[in-house]
């Protein structure tokens, strides 16, 4: 056991370890009862804290569909497989997420009504069948171009393959509903609405295993409809991509009746089918058919008979998309792993050479292609790598790198300052990027670095060495990376001889021991343990149930050599999916597997106890579920949490269990998990609950605080799992595949599978709040996290509005407080320095619950009344100077109650400046600020005098009997007043202009960076000169007031206020 001060390092490296037991969470014998706590809000915990997206958008996530508004090239809708709907009205220069108030962000298809493009349909649940495919919750409709949405129904269809809208009547639409991917259900088939989704009618149904993946209308006669039936099933152990239910159906009466068309099509089992109808010749219909004798088929008689023209069909279960050029029916595109083009109606195809070299050019794995009907050379392509466009017929492509829809499987953090986030992306490599930057513009794509290639999976930092990280790609492609040089050493274990077989999961877990940074764990069918950073491995016994995937039935049949797309995406079964070592006691190891196995070793992996049956019994489930996570407690050696992912078994609810006694007994957390209300990014309660759990974490300092990453967001418990609620505000209902808690910063970091990386900055109030000691205090002020002084820089050129930028956290100190009831008048916050002098007064919201106010580490600002004060050009603003590093007191006043906490403000650790020099800088800044205040007040008065003088002169000019000499004297008086006002304009510019003024030269501005070092001799001399100028100008203010009085006397206007009186 390592000493507690060192545990922060360990905690970081998955010391929120993966406890791995397999099961869900229902009732079971309990080792310890849940702790008793105060009631939590029904919908959200820490609603006053907002999640912060950091990207990246450097690499896209999977695009399921895209649509372009007819008659435009610029208005684009993009549907991400697990990242929602995005809209651009400027050719992709900027994007807006328009679907974030939905309860589900998995997109299957988008459809625009040809007669009214403001009528937009979205079918949720992607249709591409892979092992990471999320599910949906029905069909949405918008009548205002995506500004607002209405869920129209079909929630249990889960996956939508296609939506087709009547070309002239936007009330009518058809939906190809695939149904559940992981089990049978009746809600699948072709559905039709005639009232924009108010009601739906199932017009075609095959059976509970067969849904529909594609629809195509005859553009000249929409009563003629083609539908592709698709029988498929995925489970944790494999995939079956076809059956007797698949086929092509045709209706000639708008869907009232249907018949299967078979002439010329393959006999026997068929799999996925993609359809296309020519816009120029509606009699021409094409299909890409998965079958033993499959390929590309063509019909020239409206689908009555078919002929195979090509055997090409690349990985059909994942692609199967055909496009016929709207301007040339002989030009056909097969959208698949490569983009294939035919110029002769499909007889021959060529694969476009789009990837010049690895990671250079266009990503592979394509899912949609839009061809501009006005110019076929212009196309937009969506694939696993994101969105691309071409204007020269596909010879060259532009990557649209500003949509943050990255699909992370796993993340990790390091202990740098600022810390970095590491993670692996679905089919898009593994990356490293900062949690924040010192740049005005925030985080950008340029801040992210590729670490390894392929499908990025786990990343594990070496907590003893900031320069080393372990990274895996699919099926345990583990490498050790030197961050300084990029050196990558492959470490995957190799069997000792041909009698030994190793199996590795698609997402094989790795772990650096929290006790010994040289020890690395890798999960396969065995647990592999290395004590020399992966140079040599020792393997345990097989720790799974050793069930061969071909021995298990899918849709009533055991897979064999004739099974279409057999086990695509599932290379094996009986493989470890979670590994954890107790941070409290070295050598206490937990594993969980895809077959539900949960095992424990208390002797460093030498012997293992099988806990599978105990976990299964605790959940009340008929058989063990896939283990998604194991979390070894950081407080108790015998405590571990296991989350179970039931969606593989068509069970979509949240499941988790906990043991307090090394697995002897287990308690289900299901009751509390099922009580959590799901919310959208806008904070709207969806009416549903938490979906299946991908990860569960225990806070490193407060074991009562648990955080879950679920398939529809992040949730937290303050009472060790008894009750749960959504965590924070602003997070879309996106799959959260991993959660990390930074042990130093107390940030929660999410790796989402569809919307990149999100951070909830500084959850100190939650970690300080003990669930076992509920308080009746109406007002709580939490001890703030130390804050650091630094200056932002500008180190990037102008890049246009299309560059992806993510926000830095609020600069300065977070001041967090909790109110037991709403205080309509809000609260006041005073910051005092070590001598008790007032530094800053802030106002805060009075909402019940947790609230946050950010202090920017500056003194109170000057007033800024722009009705009186003329803001100088390039104004640096009225903000006060930065404080001197030290200890401050934060005082909260709320409803007559006062609370205080200490706050440490630290100097910039990256800038070697002595305490004496920091003091000199502070004193100089305060002196400059004092002059800035004088210039503001005197300048405002001078401008007032000038305005009144101008009014008086205009009144005098309008007088008929004014003497010429009086008018001339009045003009002279106005000139004198204007000279004084102009002098103050010059002074204010000399101080406040951030480009040329002393404030800008010293403190910096929007495009300049100042300095936290002491003033130079030139700075001091310039300050002295400004001071002298201010004193002289102040002396002239009395003369200006007297001139105004004389002018008003001439004009017969009321007397001006006495400056001296």
* pLDDT tens digits along 480-518: 999 999 999 999 999 999 999 999 999 999 999 999 999
| Model pLDDT, residue 852 | 96
* pLDDT tens digits along 902-951: 999 999 999 999 999 999 999 999 999 999 999 999 999 999 999 988 88
Q: What is the DSSP string of 836-873?
A: S-EEEEEEE---SEEEEEEE-SBPPPPP--TTT--PPT
- Residue 673 neighbours by CB under 8 Å, 6+ apart: 25, 653, 654, 655, 656, 690, 693, 708, 715, 721, 724
To which residue do tokens 């190793």 refer?
502
Query: 182 near 175, Cβ under 8 Å?
Result: no
Q: Per-residue pLDDT for 24 more than 50? A: no
In this structure, how many other beta carbons lie within 10 angstroms of the beta carbon of residue 789?
A: 19
Tell me if residue 434 falls in helix, strand or coil.
strand
Q: Per-residue pLDDT for 571 more than 70? A: yes
Q: Per-residue pLDDT for 1055 more than 90? A: no
Mean pLDDT of 606-629: 95
The token duo for 53 is 């997206």
In sequence order, what E strands does 785-826 have?
787-788, 805-806, 813-819
Q: What is the DSSP string of 136-175?
A: ---EEEESSTTSS-EEEE-GGG--EEEEEE-SS-TT-EEE
Reported as half-sphere exposure (CB side, CA atoms, 13 A), residue 539 has a value of 18
Listing from the earlier edge strand, what are the strands of the sheet with 510-512? 510-512, 520-523, 527-530, 538-539
Q: Per-residue pLDDT for 690 more than 80? A: yes
- How far apart, in Å, are the Cα atoms of 412 and each of 13, 109, 579, 981? 7, 33, 15, 59
Give the pairing type, strands 589-593 and 640-645: unpaired
pLDDT band at 1050 (very low <50, low <70, confident <90, very high): confident
Closest CA to 882 of 794, 998, 1003: 1003
Query: 411 near 757, Cβ under 8 Å?
Result: yes
pLDDT band at 1053 (very low <50, low <70, confident <90, very high): low
Query: 325 near 256, Cβ under 8 Å?
Result: no
The token duo for 530 is 């290395």
| Model pLDDT, residue 42 | 52
The token duo for 124 is 């949720």
| Model pLDDT, residue 33 | 34
Query: 1047 near 955, Cβ under 8 Å?
Result: no
| Model pLDDT, residue 1044 | 82
Q: 356-379: buried (b, 16+ CB within 10 Å) or exposed (e) per residue?
A: eeeeebbbebbbbbbbbeeeeebb
Q: Per-residue pLDDT for 771 more than 60? A: no
| Model pLDDT, residue 26 | 26
Q: Per-residue pLDDT for 834 more than 80? A: yes
* pLDDT tens digits along 399-458: 999 999 999 999 999 999 999 999 999 999 999 999 999 998 999 999 999 999 999 999
- The helix or strand, by DSSP H or E, that contains position 782, with its residue range, turns out to be none
Return mean pLDDT, the chain. Answer: 92
Mean pLDDT of 710-717: 98
Mean pLDDT of 972-984: 91
Listing from the earlier edge strand, what are the strands of the sheet with 328-335? 321-325, 328-335, 339-342, 350-351
**By CB neighbour count within 10 A (0-12 exposed, 13-18 middle, 19+ buried), where does 887 fall?**
exposed
Closest CA to 362 of 389, 342, 333: 389
How far apart CA 359 and CA 364 sit, in angstroms, is 10
In sequence order, what E strands does 633-766 have?
640-645, 655-659, 667-668, 677-679, 685-689, 693-698, 706-710, 713-717, 725-729, 736-741, 748-752, 757-760
* pLDDT tens digits along 636-668: 999 999 999 999 999 999 999 999 999 999 999
How far apart CA 801 and CA 797 sit, in angstroms, is 12
Q: Per-residue pLDDT for 776 more than 70? A: no
CA 431 to chain CA centroid, Å, is: 15
| Model pLDDT, residue 1009 | 85
Give percent of the chain above pLDDT 70.
Answer: 94
How far apart CA 102 and CA 155 sit, in angstroms, is 13
* pLDDT tens digits along 737-749: 999 999 999 999 9
How far apart CA 814 and CA 824 sit, in angstroms, is 22
- Residue 798 neighbours by CB under 8 Å, 6+ apart: none
* pLDDT tens digits along 37-82: 333 345 799 999 999 999 999 988 999 999 999 999 999 999 999 9
Query: 181 near 130, Cβ under 8 Å?
Result: no
The token duo for 655 is 């499941």
Q: Per-residue pLDDT for 1061 more than 50? A: no
Tell me if residue 903 falls in helix, strand or coil.
strand
| Model pLDDT, residue 1008 | 79
How far apart CA 1002 and CA 404 sit, in angstroms, is 37
Give the pairing type, strands 96-97 and 84-88: antiparallel
Cα pseudo-dihedral 995, 996, 1000, 1005, rounded to 10:
-10
| Model pLDDT, residue 884 | 98
Mean pLDDT of 29-33: 33
Mean pLDDT of 662-688: 96
| Model pLDDT, residue 1001 | 87
Query: 912 near 1028, Cβ under 8 Å?
Result: no
Q: Per-residue pLDDT for 773 more than 70? A: no
| Model pLDDT, residue 1003 | 85
Q: What is the DSSP string of 88-115?
A: ESSTTSS-EE--TTSS---EEEEEEETT
Query: 182 near 239, Cβ under 8 Å?
Result: no
- How far apart, in Å, are the Cα atoms of 609 and each of 542, 642, 661, 695? 12, 16, 13, 23
**By CB neighbour count within 10 A (0-12 exposed, 13-18 middle, 19+ buried), where does 256 fall?**
exposed
Q: Angle at which helices 915-957 and 964-992 pack, to 10 degrees?
A: 160
* pLDDT tens digits along 286-300: 999 999 999 999 999
Q: Per-residue pLDDT for 11 more than 50? A: no
| Model pLDDT, residue 358 | 74
Mean pLDDT of 158-163: 98
Provide the residue count of the chain: 1061
How far apart CA 436 and CA 415 sit, in angstroms, is 13
* pLDDT tens digits along 93-142: 999 999 999 999 999 999 999 999 999 999 999 999 999 999 999 999 99
Closest CA to 573 of 236, 105, 947: 236
């Amino acid at each position: 056991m390592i000493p507690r001060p060192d545990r922060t390092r360990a905690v970081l490296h998955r010391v929120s370890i993966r406890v791995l037991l397999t099961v869900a969470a229902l009732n079971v014998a309990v080792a310890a009862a849940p702790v008793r706590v105060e009631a939590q809000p029904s919908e959200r915990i820490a609603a006053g804290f907002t999640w912060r997206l950091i990207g990246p958008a450097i690499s896209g996530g999977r695009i399921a569909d895209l649509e372009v508004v007819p008659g435009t090239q610029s208005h684009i809708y993009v549907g991400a497989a697990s990242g929602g709907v995005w809209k651009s009205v400027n050719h992709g220069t900027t994007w807006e997420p328009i679907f974030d108030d939905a309860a589900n962000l998995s997109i299957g298809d988008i459809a625009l009504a040809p007669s009214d493009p403001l009528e937009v349909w979205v079918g949720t649940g992607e249709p591409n069948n892979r092992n990471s495919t999320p599910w949906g919750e029905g069909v949405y409709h918008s009548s205002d171009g995506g500004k607002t949405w209405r869920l129209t129904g079909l929630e249990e269809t889960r996956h939508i393959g296609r939506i087709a809208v009547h070309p002239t009547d936007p009330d009518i639409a058809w939906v190809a509903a695939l149904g559940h991917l992981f089990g049978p259900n009746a809600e699948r088939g072709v559905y039709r609405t005639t009232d924009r989704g108010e009601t739906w009618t199932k017009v075609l149904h095959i059976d509970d295993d067969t849904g529909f993946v594609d629809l195509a209308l005859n553009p000249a006669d929409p009563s003629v409809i083609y539908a592709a039936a698709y029988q498929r099933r995925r489970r944790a152990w494999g995939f079956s991509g076809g059956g007797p239910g698949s086929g092509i159906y045709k209706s000639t009466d708008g869907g009232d009746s249907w018949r299967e068309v078979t002439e010329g099509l393959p006999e026997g089992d068929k799999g996925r089918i993609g359809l296309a109808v020519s816009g120029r010749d509606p009699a021409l219909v094409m299909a890409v058919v998965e079958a033993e004798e499959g390929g590309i088929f063509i019909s020239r008689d409206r689908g009555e008979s078919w002929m195979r023209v090509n055997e090409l069909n690349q990985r059909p279960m994942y692609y199967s998309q055909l496009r016929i050029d709207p301007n040339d029916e002989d030009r056909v595109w097969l959208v698949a792993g490569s983009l294939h083009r035919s110029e002769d109606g499909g007889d021959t195809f060529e694969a476009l050479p789009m990837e010049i070299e690895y990671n250079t050019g266009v990503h592979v794995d394509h899912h949609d292609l839009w061809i501009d009907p006005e110019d076929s050379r212009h196309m937009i392509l969506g694939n696993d790598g994101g969105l691309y466009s071409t204007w020269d017929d596909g010879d060259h492509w532009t990557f649209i790198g500003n949509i943050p829809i990255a699909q992370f499987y796993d993340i990790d953090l390091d202990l740098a300052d600022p810390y970095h986030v590491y993670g692996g992306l679905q089919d898009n490599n593994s990356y490293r990027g900062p949690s924040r930057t010192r740049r005005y513009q925030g985080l950008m794509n340029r801040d992210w670095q590729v670490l390894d290639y392929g499908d990025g999976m786990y990343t594990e930092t070496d907590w003893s060495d900031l320069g080393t990280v372990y990274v895996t790609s699919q099926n345990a492609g583990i490498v050790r990376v030197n961050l300084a040089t990029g050196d990558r050493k492959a470490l995957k274990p190799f069997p000792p001889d041909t009698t030994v077989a190793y199996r590795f999961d698609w997402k094989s877990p790795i772990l650096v021991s929290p006790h010994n940074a040289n020890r690395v764990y890798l999960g396969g069918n065995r647990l592999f343990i290395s004590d020399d950073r992966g140079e040599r491995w020792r393997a345990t016994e097989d720790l799974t149930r050793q069930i061969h995937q071909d021995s298990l039935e899918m849709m009533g049949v055991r897979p064999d050599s004739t099974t279409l797309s057999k086990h695509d995406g599932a290379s094996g079964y009986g493989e470890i999916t979670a590994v954890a070592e107790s941070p409290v006691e070295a050598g206490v190891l937990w594993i969980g597997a895809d077959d539900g196995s949960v095992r424990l070793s208390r002797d460093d992996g030498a012997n293992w106890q099988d806990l599978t049956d105990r976990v299964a019994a605790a959940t009340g489930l008929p058989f063990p579920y896939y283990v998604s996570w194991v979390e070894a407690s950081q407080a108790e050696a015998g405590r571990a949490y296991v989350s179970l992912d039931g969606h593989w078994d068509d069970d979509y609810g949240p499941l988790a269990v906990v043991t307090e006694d090394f697995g002897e007994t287990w308690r289900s957390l299901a009751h509390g998990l099922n009580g959590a209300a799901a919310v959208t990014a806008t904070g709207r309660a969806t009416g549903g609950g938490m979906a299946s759990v991908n990860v569960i974490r225990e806070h490193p300092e407060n074991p009562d605080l648990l955080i879950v990453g679920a398939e529809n967001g992040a949730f937290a418990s303050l009472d060790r799992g008894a009750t749960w609620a959504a965590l924070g505000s602003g997070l879309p209902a996106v799959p959260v595949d991993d959660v990390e808690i930074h042990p130093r910063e107390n940030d929660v970091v999410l790796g989402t599978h569809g919307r990149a990386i999100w951070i909830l900055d500084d959850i100190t109030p939650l970690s300080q709040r003990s669930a076992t000691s509920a308080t009746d205090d109406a007002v709580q002020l939490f001890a703030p996290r130390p804050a650091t002084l630094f200056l932002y820089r500008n180190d990037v050129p102008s890049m246009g509005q299309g560059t992806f930028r993510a926000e830095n956290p609020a600069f300065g100190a977070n001041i967090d407080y909790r109110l037991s009831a709403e205080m309509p008048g809000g609260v006041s916050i005073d910051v005092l320095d070590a001598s008790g002098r007032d530094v800053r007064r802030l106002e805060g919201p009075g909402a019940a619950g947790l609230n946050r106010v950010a202090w920017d580490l500056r003194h109170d600002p000057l007033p800024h009344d722009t009705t009186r004060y003329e803001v100088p050009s390039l104004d640096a603003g009225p903000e006060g100077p930065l404080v001197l590093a030290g200890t401050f007191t934060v005082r909260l006043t709320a409803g007559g109650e006062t609370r205080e906490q200490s706050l440490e403000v630290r100097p910039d650790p990256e800038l070697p400046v002595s305490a004496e020099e920091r003091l000199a800088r502070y004193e100089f800044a305060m002196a400059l600020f004092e002059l800035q205040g004088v210039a503001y007040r005197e300048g405002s008065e001078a401008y007032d005098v000038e305005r009144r003088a101008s009014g008086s002169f205009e009144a005098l000019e309008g007088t008929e009997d004014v003497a010429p000499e009086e008018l001339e004297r009045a003009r002279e008086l106005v000139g004198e007043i204007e000279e004084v006002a102009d002098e103050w304009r010059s002074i204010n510019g000399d101080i406040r202009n951030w480009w040329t003024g002393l404030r800008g030269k010293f403190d910096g501005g929007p495009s300049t960076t100042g300095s936290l070092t002491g003033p130079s001799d030139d700075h001091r001399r310039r300050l002295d000169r400004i001071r002298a100028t201010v004193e002289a100008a102040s002396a002239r203010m009395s003369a200006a007031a007297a001139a105004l009085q004389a002018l008003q006397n001439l004009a017969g206007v009321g007397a001006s206020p006495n400056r001296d009186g």
